[in-house]
């Protein structure tokens, strides 16, 4: 049984739950001063979301490389 691949799926699931939580709790309700254009607020939210996605992909890439290298070594 490939425990590491099951762990990879589990890690993806946990990251999705955490990412979702951050989006709902912090990024979604984000507001600036009333005189700032709503488009700018939306743009900032998109940037934060993209940053989260980047961290998510970066983390998963590191886990993937670690799994593949350890599979080859064993």
Partner 1 sequence: MEEKIIAAIIVSAIAFFAIYAFTPILIKFLQKRNLMVKDVNKPGNVMIPRPGGISILIGIVASEITLYFFFPISEILAIIITSILGFSVGIVDDRKTMGGWFKPLALAFCAAPILLLGAYDSNLDFPLFGSVKIPSLYLALVVFMIPITGNTINSIDVLNGVASGVTTIASFALAISLFILQNYEIGLACLGLAFASLAFYKYHKFPSRIFPGDSGSVMFGATYGVIAIVGGVEVIAAIAILPAIINSFLFLSSVKKIVEHREIKNPTSHTDDFKLKSTDDNHAPITLVRLLIAKKPLSEKQICNEVLKLTTFSGVLAVITAFMMGVKI
Confirm or reject binding of residue 17 to partner 1 (CB under 8 A): yes
Q: For 25, how many CA atoms within 13 A lie in the half-sphere containing its CB?
A: 6
Minimum CB–partner distance for residue 8 and partner 1 (Å): 7
For partner 1, the binding residues in 33-62 under the rule CB under 8 A are 42, 46, 49, 57, 60-61
Q: Report DSSP state, residue 31.
A: -
d(CA 26, CA 33) in angstroms, rounded, equals 17
Residues that bind partner 1 (CB under 8 A): 2, 5-6, 8-10, 12-13, 16-17, 20-21, 23-25, 27-28, 42, 46, 49, 57, 60-61, 64, 67-68, 71-72, 74
């Amino acid at each position: 049984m490939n425990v590491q691949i099951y762990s990879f799926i589990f890690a993806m699931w946990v990251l999705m739950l955490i990412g979702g939580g951050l989006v709902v709790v912090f990024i979604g309700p984000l507001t600036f001063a009333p005189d700032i254009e709503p488009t700018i607020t939306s743009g900032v939210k998109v940037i934060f979301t993209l940053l989260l996605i980047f961290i998510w992909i970066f983390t998963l890439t590191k886990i993937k490389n670690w799994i593949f290298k350890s599979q080859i070594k064993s």
